[in-house]
A and B are shown apart, each in its own frame.
Chain A
């Protein structure tokens, strides 16, 4: 048993068993212990070799947080928080970035004529490492900043650090948000249960019904961009925007729903990002748990907003470059982060220098049009395997440069805009809320019918969630 995906039947069985046992336990202590065991079992199903690593990292941060809190000596406190940083970032660096930095160093030395050969290191990337190390880091940093009381119970902290709904792909739920929820027994009302059941289904539909269906078309174009004509290349970029949003926000919805069905709240992660009216707005709506994390722990640590505009922009750019690197150990991800950093700077400059009020009611529409196209353009860097194919795709997207004779089905080009309209309408008319608010018997019937649609839309052949690799 490995790669237990939320859209798989065996996960649904696992979740059903967990919920059944969880709600049959009366004492909060028993529930927490049970969920902790279930979480480690879940992670062990992915790769049992890394269970010990997760446990040791969590124990380390638990210990460091206690020491930081207990110590009155500022130097000692700094030593402990530095040790936690080193432990988490060292683990992340070793597993995720070691090969990347080695490759880059060897390539640089090669370019300088050193002619080195790269040492062959076979390093397996533990799933979700970027998520749980960032979560742990926020814990010790918050304790260091005296914004959070450390957990006194090792079991409680292990619970938070390994909670299975958000363990492998977030949302990055900070212990400061989660730990207080462990104090008392959780409860779940019937309307809440319906809301989370609906959220789980929506997430499932996004992932299995949309993202996994468009993925083969995206792959075809990005794997051989030279062979496709410009409209198909544009369609592929839009479809990738659809895929990555539905993939990741679908996972987040399911994670939030799983936690919600146990009475716990996770951080909201997406808020219709493709309806954003500016790049700044986009980052308030996309992967909210990460964007607020890098804002609070990188941007603000660098000094945040400064009286000196250049310093502010430097901080912004460095933050976004780090955010890009967090997503993947490749220069294309760094470039993606850098491009968004530049986008944020240009956005700020435009607003502060010219003000955009004179555009009147067109401001919102123009802002949205520019933002969505900028975001799509940047997705090319995110998706392309190398700068060569990224350049080809960017050329097709911006300049409609001619390509090969291959083409995607015409209707697919309308899928992205069509889904955007659906999302717009769903938000405006509160579809999900209305469905959740149905009378329980009618809800059950409609819910079952929607599952039939979801099942029929599921392509046979699972594709892992994109964000598991980060």
Chain B
């Protein structure tokens, strides 16, 4: 008991001495945060998992807005292996720093991935991306992603993982090491404003071939529910934004699983009386042009050409939801 008390006292003292753990080294989140700190012009960002990390090409997205009354400068702040909790952390940083820049009005858009997972996988519990993130606030946020629709076992597992991660966070696991012995930061996130894609490989090519070869005539349609956390996230981000009139969108990112079973969501959800559009691009029936084998690096991820097309489609969908331009510029 006394040993636990000693541990808690020392861990608390260490934690007080340290800077914000979110900014401790946790690749590739560190690289995206560094990109965000450098690129002060960005007013549009996409968040989420590897499907967005490999799929959202900022230059293609921005080009689709050519001719719009306001400039669009976007960033890809999604992460491979990302989750709702990490998406929330990055989006909060992005919105807190939001600065339209100069006197030019701009669109402020946050594109969140609706179908991102919640926690990290168990194997990643001891990774700084998990440990440095799970403060009490994040643990509570994770709890908001459980209701009766996810089932009791999943609910317990989700809360359990979040609690363990929270415990590791407050034990300060590895934080002093990172604060004292800062590792050299990796590069690569800047070339395409956070967009990174890898070359195709043989296993990926075979997977894509098999996915298209074995696809059923008629995919199953799965009606998905919106969890309390989905609404809570937007409400919280809206409150945290440094500018007014930030447009929030939920994106359902595609994968080749959608050839077999694709999700159906409502067109929008209400958050505090304001609708948040859901851009469901995981629909082979609506976007057949995205579901061509040559656009996929592997069954879960688009290749660069696919990313460019995906980003253009996404931009068109966003424009359509913004309504007749000019929509409200942020800060106005």
Where the two chains meet, the residues of A that have a C-beta atom closer than 8 Å to any C-beta of B are 209, 213-214, 216-217, 220, 409, 441, 444-453, 455-460
Contacts and interface: CB of A to CB of B under 8 A. Distances in A.
A452 B171 contact: yes
Given A444-B2, A460-B127, A451 B184 contact: no
Given A213-B181, A458-B173, A448 B127 contact: no
A333 to B, nearest CB: 28
Nearest to B7: A448
13 contacts: A213-B181, A214-B181, A216-B183, A441-B2, A451-B3, A452-B8, A453-B176, A456-B172, A457-B176, A458-B173, A459-B174, A460-B128, A460-B174
B4 interface: yes
A456 B126 contact: no
Given A444-B2, A444-B6, A445-B2, A453 B184 contact: no
A115 to B, nearest CB: 35
Given A455-B11, A459-B181, A448 B174 contact: no
Contacts of A449: 6-7, 9-10
B317 interface: no
B159 interface: no
A445 B181 contact: no
B177 A452 contact: no
Given A445-B5, A448-B4, A448-B5, A459 B10 contact: no
A256 to B, nearest CB: 21
Nearest to A406: B184
Contacts of A209: 177
B131 A452 contact: no
B2 A455 contact: no
Given A445-B3, A445-B6, A447-B6, A452 B180 contact: no
Nearest to B17: A456
B62 interface: no
Nearest to B184: A220
**Dominant secondary structure at the B interface:** helix
**Dominant secondary structure at the A interface:** helix
Contact of A448 (B10, B128, B131, B182): B10
A457 B181 CA distance: 9
Q: Which of A209, A213, A448, A460 has the most CB of B within 10 A?
A: A460
B6 A452 contact: yes
Interface in B115-170: 126-128, 131
Contacts of A448: 2-8, 10
Given A460-B127, A460-B128, A446 B173 contact: no
A456 B176 CA distance: 5
A456 B18 CA distance: 11
Contacts of B183: 216
Given A213-B181, A214-B181, A452-B14, A458 B6 contact: no
Nearest to A215: B181
Contact of B174 (A216, A447, A453, A456): A456
B106 interface: no
A213 B176 CA distance: 10
A42 B183 CA distance: 33
Contact of B175 (A220, A441, A456): A456
B180 A213 contact: yes
Contacts of B177: 209, 213, 456-460
Interface in B167-209: 171-178, 180-184
Interface string B288-319: 00000000000000000000000000000000
Contacts of A444: 1-3, 6
A450 B11 CA distance: 9
A201 to B, nearest CB: 11
